[in-house]
Amino acid sequence: MSAATDAETAGYFARAVEDNVARQLGLRITDARRRAAARMGVSPGTLENLRKGRKKIVPHSVMERIRSVFIAVLNEEIARLEQDIVRARHVGLGHRCHDLAAAEAQLLAAKTLLEKRDEESGVGTCRSKASTR
């Protein structure tokens, strides 16, 4: 992978994690960035530079930390969506419910993204135990 591709990929992963933290906690991106950076073990400035495309080279160790947190966030999102779907079905929401359909679509997208990553890297699947049921 080229340095430019690494920077773009790291930027995508970092942006997705920041957006997820902001959405879950109801924070602005700048506040979510500090939390995401602490979780990744990098500075908030590094994440900002990645988000804005100003970072040209991403050290392998930084890329691995960002990637690992991104995968963890996807797995957490998959588990959350699976719980939401089970709850919705339990209370009798059918396939006509827009929220249920949206949750199922998000779940499929997250699983597809993880499977694609696994295929590209040749690594085993990284899904949660709940998703294998």
> Based on the number of CB atoms within 10 Å of its own CB, is 33 exposed (0-12), middle (13-18) or buried (19 or more)?
buried
14-23, 74-83, 111-120: which has the highest mean pLDDT? 14-23
Sign of the alpha-carbon dihedral angle for 132, 36, 33, 31: positive
- What is the CA angle 121-45-116, rounded to 5? 15
- Asked if 42 and 66 count as a contact pair (C-beta separation under 8 A), the reply is yes
Largest CA distance in the chain: 51
What was the pLDDT predicted at 118?
65
Number of helices (H) and strands (E) in the chain: give both, helices first: 5, 0
pLDDT tens column, 82-125:
888 888 777 776 656 777 778 788 888 888 877 776 666 554 44
User: pTM of whole model > 0.95?
Assistant: no
Distance CA 116, CA 54 (A): 27
- All structural domains of the chain with their residue ranges: 3-132
